[in-house]
Structure 1
Amino acid sequence: MVRKIVIPLIFLTTGCTAPMDYSSSPNFNVEKGQFEHPEGDKSDKSIFDLFGMATKFLRRENDEWEDKGFPVISSSKAALVDFSENMIWVGQSTILLNHNNLTVLTDPHFGERASPFSFLGPKRLTPPPFTVSDLPKIDIVLVSHNHYDHLDKETIVELSKLQPNIKYFVPLGLESTLKKWGAQNVVELDWWQSFEYGNVEIQATPVQHWSKRSFFDRNNTLWAGWMMKWDEFSFYFAGDSGYSNDFKETANKLGSPTLAAIPIGAYEPREFMKGAHMDPAEAVKVFSDLDAKYAVGIHWGTFKLTLEPMNEPPRLLKENLERGDHSLQRFRALRHGEIWNAPFAD
């Protein structure tokens, strides 16, 4: 039996578009013809590394959560109509958030697979707590990068049809892709560039990651974290990242967020994943580096992408928070579909 493997994320075969000219960006390496983190590409693996990882993945033992997924707290369309001063973790890196009458959706993924194929690749093991059609009016969508577990064509197409007035914020290179999928209002930003949306400043920030959707487009588009700043509240979305000094720099330049969404999963084996994905111990360091008031752990328990047991990230997060004498009420790994209003009520 063909296993639900990460290979479609590693050996991608779908078509790609010709890259735009981003040579004026300080984050674009003209000689290589691709975007690059200031500390270099720490996720570039040899073909032997890739096959080694795929072999380990194929030979793994399923844990119970991979077989049955996690419990989900569902919300109805009617319940979401008045969604206000709250956040819901939908799954993976998708968060529904509302503050000051502005509703935000991050890395929207409601699809069945994190893959270019409908029949193969990492299958969603924990269903979303509601459908795209159940969503309340969305004002802003933040997209961190183009990997299949973060940018889902099916979701964007449906969302754009149902809510054509959404404004999408994407890193350099992704505007044309989203417009091709039906998004009408797309703002493309480089690291540290910002956009004023009403009384909210939205700014792209550097993180240590990479991009790819096919054989031939590695790092043709940028990846980013996002900071949203109201007068009295701020939200930081890390997207996907290995641990780096970027988080201290972000806090130093933009201030510490009220609420941060920090990835805690998809980190084993460390020698393979460390450059692109932080583990729970590093997530706690990011929490400290940002000096965030609250944080939510994302990027776990939804797709089986790596080798750690699916229920391990929240357990290790708790252990590392306790070891660092942090409040367990300040940095939480929510249940799928759980509503959390503490960051908005404090």
Structure 2
Amino acid sequence: MIKKPSHYLFTLGFILAIATLQVKGQPEAVGALLFDSAPIDKQGRFTNYQADLSHGSAAVRLSFFLRRIGTVFRSDEGAPKKVANDGSILRNNSGTPTATWIGHATLLVQMDGVNFLTDPIWSQTPSPVPFIGPSRWVDPGLALEDLPTIDFVVISHNHYDHLDLPSLRKLAALNFETVFFVPQGNGDLLRKNGIDQVRELNWGDTASYKGTTIHCLPTQHWSKRSLTDTRKALWSSWAITGTERRFYFAGDTGYFEGFKEIGAKLGPFDLAAVPIGAYEPNAMMEASHMNPEEAVQAAIDVQTNIAVAMHFGTFDLSDEPISEPPLRFKAAAKDTKLGDTNSWVLDVGETKEF
């Protein structure tokens, strides 16, 4: 585990994370649209089905940023454990469906003959400037060079802890055929960084890849990478469905009624990855991040057989104790259909079959 000093004044730039210009390219559609496209407000910016989100009062936000400065001294006690994984079993996997937690919202999923990553970040800080930003508690669970051949990547939105350009550039260099699926408006950012295999999708759009279908789906969040591009790029959740397995990636989101619609139209899923951290202070985070109890409800809503926790314990992003999210997640799932067996809290680097 590592904990590097960070200059949290710059965390404001991270939280304000922003996006890119819209791109004209459209994915190849598969079947009829099951969901409406993302709404656009009078300023031409993307918004949520339930309109704009509250990020708390100015006083709440200011006190939060001041506390961020002090967390440079925060202990890493309670951070997730890391298990050794050299990737050899994954590279030699001939068909067993698996999920491996790399850390934060990054999962390596193998199913239906494809290998894909969700929101890949291998950087030590989710920030536009290396070594400045929230600390990484635990190193990635697998080295980039030890990954199996990656067929495609899905990215939920453009905040720096989810769209990490250094990691994306390295992945593109490792395999020029890797396809990067992004929500509408994020394509130019990747192309300007030398990543050409980009497909942009809006909510309701689908694309096919080697017998699987990639669904771009609604979620409740926002986007920003600078001071001027708030909500100019879209955010999304994703479903990858094949003939053998169905996987749902919630991305970064607050709890909303759309989960039930996703479950009704695309469920049941074999595995759903749900975010369980970055929920305090509640007044600032509630609309755009789920707490562990809401994550369990979202998993039930999308009709998944197994829920795997993510978006916790990797970066120092919020006020809740580091060890709290997985404990609350397991407790909330205990008396539901997920129970203890099907509510996964993985170690960093751990692989499980599904």
* TM-score between the two structures when normalised by the length of structure 2: 0.88
2:81 alignment partner, one of 53, 61, 71 = 71
RMSD of equivalent CA atoms: 2.3
CA distance in 2: counterparts of 1:153 and 1:246, whole angstroms: 29
Q: Contact 2:6–2:72 at 8 Å: present in 1 too?
A: no
- Look up the equivalent residue of 1:203 and give its one-letter code: H
Residue 130 of structure 1 and its aligned partner are, at CA, apart by 2.0
Paired position in structure 1 for 2:280: 268
Q: Contact 1:43–1:210 at 8 Å: present in 2 too?
A: no
Paired position in structure 2 for 1:10: 15
Q: Secondary structure at the match of 2:223?
A: coil
2:292 alignment partner, one of 271, 280, 284 = 280
Residue 314 of structure 1 and its aligned partner are, at CA, apart by 0.6
Residue 3 of structure 1 and its aligned partner are, at CA, apart by 5.0
Q: Secondary structure at the match of 1:284?
A: helix
CA distance in 2: counterparts of 1:288 and 1:93, whole angstroms: 19
Paired position in structure 1 for 2:90: 80
Paired position in structure 2 for 1:29: 40
Larger RCO: Structure 1 or Structure 2 (Cα < 8 Å, ≥ 6 residues apart)? 2
Residue 74 of structure 1 and its aligned partner are, at CA, apart by 2.2
Paired position in structure 2 for 1:316: 328
Residue 254 of structure 1 and its aligned partner are, at CA, apart by 1.5
Structure 1 pair 18–333 and aligned structure 2 pair: CA distance change class (3 A): same
- Look up the equivalent residue of 2:167 and give its one-letter code: T
Segments of structure 1 that go 5 or more residues without pairing to the other structure are: none
1:229 matches 2:229: no
CA distance in 2: counterparts of 1:325 and 1:19, whole angstroms: 41
CA distance in 1: counterparts of 2:295 and 2:56, whole angstroms: 23
CA distance in 2: counterparts of 1:183 and 1:87, whole angstroms: 25
Residue 8 of structure 1 and its aligned partner are, at CA, apart by 3.0
Q: Secondary structure at the match of 2:264?
A: helix
Paired position in structure 1 for 2:186: 174
1:55 matches 2:66: yes
Q: Contact 1:75–1:337 at 8 Å: present in 2 too?
A: yes
- Look up the equivalent residue of 1:164 and give its one-letter code: F
Residue 21 of structure 1 and its aligned partner are, at CA, apart by 7.9
Paired position in structure 1 for 2:223: 211
2:211 alignment partner, one of 174, 178, 199 = 199
Paired position in structure 2 for 1:148: 160
Q: Contact 2:22–2:188 at 8 Å: present in 1 too?
A: no
CA distance in 1: counterparts of 2:201 and 2:102, whole angstroms: 25
CA distance in 2: counterparts of 1:99 and 1:273, whole angstroms: 33
Structure 1 pair 64–17 and aligned structure 2 pair: CA distance change class (3 A): closer
Structure 1 pair 69–289 and aligned structure 2 pair: CA distance change class (3 A): closer
CA distance in 2: counterparts of 1:333 and 1:233, whole angstroms: 20
1:248 matches 2:260: yes
Paired position in structure 2 for 1:291: 303
Q: Contact 2:112–2:244 at 8 Å: present in 1 too?
A: no
Residue 255 of structure 1 and its aligned partner are, at CA, apart by 2.2
Deviations 1:93-143 (A, max 9, x none): 000011122101111101111111113111211001222111110111111
Q: Secondary structure at the match of 1:29?
A: coil
Residue 2 of structure 1 and its aligned partner are, at CA, apart by 5.9
Residue 197 of structure 1 and its aligned partner are, at CA, apart by 1.5
Segments of structure 2 that go 5 or more residues without pairing to the other structure are: 26-35
- Look up the equivalent residue of 1:7 and give its one-letter code: L
- Look up the equivalent residue of 1:331 and give its one-letter code: S
Structure 1 pair 81–231 and aligned structure 2 pair: CA distance change class (3 A): closer
Structure 1 pair 321–11 and aligned structure 2 pair: CA distance change class (3 A): closer
Residue 71 of structure 1 and its aligned partner are, at CA, apart by 2.5
Residue 49 of structure 1 and its aligned partner are, at CA, apart by 3.8
Q: Contact 1:73–1:338 at 8 Å: present in 2 too?
A: yes
Q: Contact 2:156–2:235 at 8 Å: present in 1 too?
A: yes
Q: Contact 1:156–1:182 at 8 Å: present in 2 too?
A: no
Structure 1 pair 133–26 and aligned structure 2 pair: CA distance change class (3 A): same
Deviations 1:268-312 (A, max 9, x none): 111110011000010111111112101100000100000011111
2:319 alignment partner, one of 291, 303, 307 = 307
Q: Secondary structure at the match of 1:320?
A: helix
Q: Contact 2:23–2:186 at 8 Å: present in 1 too?
A: no
Structure 1 pair 62–47 and aligned structure 2 pair: CA distance change class (3 A): same
- Look up the equivalent residue of 1:27 and give its one-letter code: A
CA distance in 1: counterparts of 2:172 and 2:190, whole angstroms: 9
Q: Secondary structure at the match of 2:304?
A: coil
* TM-score between the two structures when normalised by the length of structure 1: 0.90
Paired position in structure 2 for 1:334: 346
- Look up the equivalent residue of 2:323 and give its one-letter code: N
